[in-house]
Chain A
Amino acid sequence: MKLDEMGQVKIAPEVISLIASMAASEVSGVADLTAGFTGDMLEKVGVKSPSKGIKVQLGENEVLIDVYLIVEYGVVIPEVAKEVQKKVKLSVETMTGINVTQVNVHVQGINFQKEPKEDMKK
């Protein structure tokens, strides 16, 4: 929530989730974001959440973001995680102006089906 001369600007947590989700998905080495058991069940019955795998804890003018993801096989996990943290922080801060205090990355699994891109291979 921000105050200016014209009034208040409120940004819903869902918007921040969506921005974070899109930013995290774009990182090379991220196979998918995980929705958890409930999310998976909902997805099976056709209810898709565009901001799956993102948990947002919104404060006064700061936000803490948790990202739950699956990485591609063969990538260096800490490097991918660092890239996700940077990109999510940058995207959310640029688009909303809210200070991102932490971006916690939870690697829930490895995707073995697709071969990782050459530049991410070690």
Chain B
Amino acid sequence: MKNFTKFFLCIYIIVVIALALFLAIAPFYSVAKNILLLLVNRLDFYTSVFCFFIVVVNGIILINILKREKFRLGVSKYTSEGELIISNDAIKSLILKSLKDIKGLKDVKILLKTDKDKLNILIKALVYPDHNIPNLVLEVQRSVKRYLESIAEIPVGEVKVMVDEIASSTKFKVE
């Protein structure tokens, strides 16, 4: 779960707790009861907006929870003692580590796709100028494949490398 979603979820839980507490004490305190009755009598457009907001927040949280479950799946292997599941997070960490020492790469985004029995990888790369791109791509492909197959024993199918952009350290002004 992303930090933004966690923050969102915390705020949401606090609001729900406050509302629940307010409703819980309302029957016993006349002030709270009056406020509640006043709110009920003044149901208007803004109430609808607030309720719609609550529905949207619920939707976002639900989508994130479901996404997370899907994301957690990763690659699984069966052994005599049970199953071994390596999460996509862990595989991405391994790929990033294997690319750390390759000169010429500034940033990468990794997408994983599991085929029938192999893992296909798409790496979107931001590369530094003055590097031979075909050689760099070949090095990336070899490094990722070799590393994953030796450390995680995951059969790697394709390693596609998409050079998204060239990082430029200097910007030229055209006058």
**Residues on A facing B (Cβ under 8 Å):** 37, 65, 71, 73-78, 81-82, 85-86, 89, 102-110, 112, 122
Contact = CB atoms under 8 A, between A and B. Distances in A.
A19 B1 CA distance: 29
A71 B85 CA distance: 12
Interface residues of B, number: 22
6 contacts: A75-B151, A76-B150, A107-B74, A107-B85, A108-B72, A108-B87
Interface stretch (B50-58, B88-96, B119-127, B135-143): B88-96
**Chain A at the B interface: SS class:** mixed
Interface in B63-117: 72, 74, 77, 79, 81-87, 89-90, 93-94, 97
Nearest first, the 9 A-B pairs at minimum CB distance are: A85-B81, A102-B82, A104-B83, A103-B82, A110-B93, A81-B84, A107-B86, A106-B85, A78-B153
B81 A77 contact: no
Given A77-B153, A103-B82, 7 more contacts: A37-B6, A76-B152, A77-B151, A85-B79, A85-B82, A105-B85, A109-B93
A81 to B, nearest CB: 4
Interface of B: 1, 6, 72, 74, 77, 79, 81-87, 89-90, 93-94, 97, 150-153
B150 to A, nearest CB: 6
Contacts of A122: 150-151
Contacts of A102: 81-83
A81 B90 contact: no
A78 B155 CA distance: 13
Contacts of B85: 104-107
A82 B81 contact: yes
Given A106-B85, A107-B87, A122-B151, A81 B79 contact: yes
A108 B97 contact: no
Contacts of B151: 74-77, 122
Contact of B86 (A73, A74, A77, A103): A77
Nearest to B6: A37
B168 to A, nearest CB: 30
B9 to A, nearest CB: 9
A75 B6 CA distance: 31
A107 B84 contact: yes
Given A81-B79, A105-B82, A73 B97 contact: yes
Contacts of B6: 37
A104 B83 CA distance: 4
A27 B79 CA distance: 18
A83 to B, nearest CB: 10
A68 to B, nearest CB: 9
Nearest to A71: B90
